[in-house]
Amino acid sequence: MGRLFIPRAAPLALSHTKLFTFRTTTAAARATTTTYASSKGSPRRSVSRPLPDSLVRRTRSTREFNEEEIEHFLSNGTHVPVLLGEVLDVFDRRGRPLRSFVDCTMGAAGHSSSIIRAHPELEIFIGLDIDPVAYKMANVQLDLILNNVEAERKDRALQRYTYLRNFRDIRSIVRQVDANISSDGVDGILMDLGMSSMQVNNAERGFSVLNDGPLDMRMNPLASLKAEDILNSWPEAEVGRILREYGEESNWRKIQTKIMKARTGGGLHSTNELLNLVRSACGGPAGRQGWMKTATRVFQALRIAVNDELNSLRDALFAAFDCLAHGGRLAVISFHSLEDRIVKQTFLDIINREEGGSPVKKKNDCEEEWCKQKIDGKFGTILTKRPITPSTDEEKLNRRCRGAKLRVLQKVPQE
């Protein structure tokens, strides 16, 4: 209590004067169709119905799932990298070596380690993470991998640079690493959004609806804003906007009123207090569409606001594209519909943008198996007109991959 409200994130670009419909994939074969209507910004959720089988099949990865690729992560209890085989395929290109690579979200370095192992030609690896715990864990993992890799290839050392930084700073980080790759560009960039298992499983971080902990939710523990600051001191309308826009929560008004009421009793300070508040606002069973689902949306909304996630993502996508070499690829894995919509729209904006850079006419060619439908633009090609989603086998082994969507953008090759 007693903290000043400082507006930090511009409202998400959702128009409340127009009527529009979108889908959120909530489980393997389900979707919720949400309709926003009216200029008052009051979302109305229509009936939930399963996603047609044909649509599910169109986005599902057709790559044969290789359990061995993730066995090691499953057995040692660290974060299990999502869509690992699919990501490896994106950067495994005939006739085009991967000499430089940036992992914007190292986490436990699952994707990074596998990329390094799969690409003996890799010369420069840059890894980022905003979370000091993940940063440390990733570096331990990279030490192990690099010791083995170096022993195997004595002829050429891999230069590795890791930074405890926000991925929205990727431009200046790449510049700082090497003037040459800053001007020529990097061959591959990966962003695996969302939270790692280490973050979700640590109750003290306040990310999980399942474990009681402080209302923190900061990816960067040095940042000043926590979830409890928003709940206990931000203006009522701002709290409502966050629930509505970042949580896509139809019951937002009732929850907002309860949050305001809680302030008179000393405010909310633990995730269990927030959970109880949501339960009392919703009533009914906890099940898939019950109050637990609402609680998940409320937690998502707060996390997005605390970490300014959507603005950070949009900025980072433009910056990452600028850092790519001609013909280089940017792969992004998102975990909820707000993120995915930003990735999808920003990719379209990027390939057709007017300002800066000169268009190269040459079309991109992608004959790889996973690349089904493309969208060509002046500056690049979207190689995944529809996103790639995990196979049923991956979903069976790793529940956390549900809802993941992989989108890939390739910069136009040099003439």
Ligand X SMILES: C[S@@+](CC[C@H](N)C(=O)[O-])C[C@H]1O[C@@H](n2cnc3c(N)ncnc32)[C@H](O)[C@@H]1O
- Contacts to ligand X by CB under 6 A: 79, 81, 104-105, 107-111, 128-131, 134, 166-167, 192, 194-196, 219, 312
How near is the Cβ of 125 to ligand X at its closest, in Å?
Answer: 14
How near is the Cβ of 240 to ligand X at its closest, in Å?
Answer: 25
How near is the Cβ of 365 to ligand X at its closest, in Å?
Answer: 28
Nearer residue to ligand X within complex by CB, 14 or 108: 108
Tokens of 147: 């010791």
How near is the Cβ of 187 to ligand X at its closest, in Å?
Answer: 18
Give the Cα separation of 326 and 347 in Å (integer): 16
Nearer residue to ligand X within complex by CB, 105 or 232: 105
Single out the residue of 86, 75, 104, 113 nearest to residue 394, CA to CA: 86
Nearer residue to ligand X within complex by CB, 252 or 335: 335
How near is the Cβ of 311 to ligand X at its closest, in Å?
Answer: 10
Nearer residue to ligand X within complex by CB, 196 or 410: 196
DSSP string, 73-89: HHHHTSPPPTTHHHHHH
How near is the Cβ of 271 to ligand X at its closest, in Å?
Answer: 19
Tokens 């906007």 belong to 241
Nearer residue to ligand X within complex by CB, 196 or 389: 196
Give the Cα separation of 97 and 297 in Å (integer): 42
Sign of the CA dihedral running 112, 114, 117, 118: negative
How near is the Cβ of 266 to ligand X at its closest, in Å?
Answer: 31
Give the Cα separation of 56 and 230 in Å (integer): 37
CA atoms within 13 A on the CB side of 71: 5
Nearer residue to ligand X within complex by CB, 113 or 256: 113
Q: Are 196 and 79 in contact, with CB atoms under 8 Å apart?
A: yes
User: Coil, strand or helix: which one is 298?
Assistant: helix
How near is the Cβ of 279 to ligand X at its closest, in Å?
Answer: 28
DSSP string, 202-267: -GGG---SSS--BS---SSTTSS--HHHHHHHS-HHHHHHIIIIIT--TTHHHHHHHHHHHHHTT-
Nearer residue to ligand X within complex by CB, 107 or 387: 107
Exposed/middle/buried for 348, CB within 10 Å: 0-12, 13-18, 19+? middle
Give the Cα separation of 4 and 17 in Å (integer): 30
Nearer residue to ligand X within complex by CB, 196 or 398: 196
User: Coil, strand or helix: which one is 399?
Assistant: helix
Nearer residue to ligand X within complex by CB, 131 or 216: 131
How near is the Cβ of 2 to ligand X at its closest, in Å?
Answer: 28
How near is the Cβ of 128 to ligand X at its closest, in Å?
Answer: 5
Nearer residue to ligand X within complex by CB, 105 or 208: 105
Exposed/middle/buried for 54, CB within 10 Å: 0-12, 13-18, 19+? exposed
Q: Which residue is nearest to ligand X (CB)?
A: 107
Q: Name the helix (H) or strand (E) containing 278.
A: helix 271-282
